[in-house]
Each structure stands twice: as C-alpha cells, then as structure tokens.
C-alpha cells in the first residue's frame, strides 16, 4: 500500500505542476500578444531565404533523366515479354 500511495501522490504532484505551468503560460501569452501582420513578412522572407539553399533546381534535370530511363526500361521489359513466353503458376 505504501508504494501505491507514493505513486498516487507523485502523480498528483506532477499533474498539479503541469496545470500550474499551463496556467502561467496562458497568462503570459495573453500579455504578450504578437501582431501576426507584422510577423508575416519576416516569416515569408525567412522561407524564401531557406529555399535558396535547397538543391531542387539542380535536381530537376537529373529527375527528368531518371524518368526517361525508366520509360526505356519499361519499354524494354515489355518487348522482352512479347518475344519470350512467360509462364506463371498459382
């Protein structure tokens, strides 16, 4: 019984701590309201600057080559299947 009471009291202490944390967070967040209209251009500029670092533009020709090679592979496999009979079992 002693261990069970310890777990219950420890759990309630943790729960009370979390409730207190969220109450403090809510009260602080109301006092520090952020104007999203002012924040939006800053966020958009940051996203645009990050997009410059991504290698997407350099990967596009490689992706096109991969798609061309894949279609050639499919055409080759379909030609082989037409030339050689393929038997399948259940």
pTM of this structure? 0.39
Mean pLDDT over 1-12 rounds to: 53
pLDDT at 50: 80
Distance between CA atoms of residues 48 and 31, nearest Å: 31
Domain ranges of the chain: 1-31, 55-84
Tell whether the model's pLDDT for residue 31 goes beyond 80.
no
Task: Please indicate whether residue 74 or residue 16 has the higher confidence score (pLDDT).
Answer: 74
Alpha helix (H) residue ranges in 1-90: 2-31, 36-53, 56-83
């Amino acid at each position: 019984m002693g261990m069970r009471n310890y777990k219950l009291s420890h759990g309630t202490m943790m729960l009370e701590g979390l409730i207190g944390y969220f109450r403090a967070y809510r009260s602080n967040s109301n006092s520090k309201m952020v104007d999203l209209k002012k924040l939006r251009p800053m966020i958009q500029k940051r996203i645009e600057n990050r997009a410059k670092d991504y290698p997407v533009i350099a990967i596009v020709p490689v992706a096109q080559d991969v798609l061309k090679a894949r279609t050639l592979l499919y055409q080759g496999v379909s030609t082989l299947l037409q030339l050689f009979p393929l038997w399948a079992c259940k």
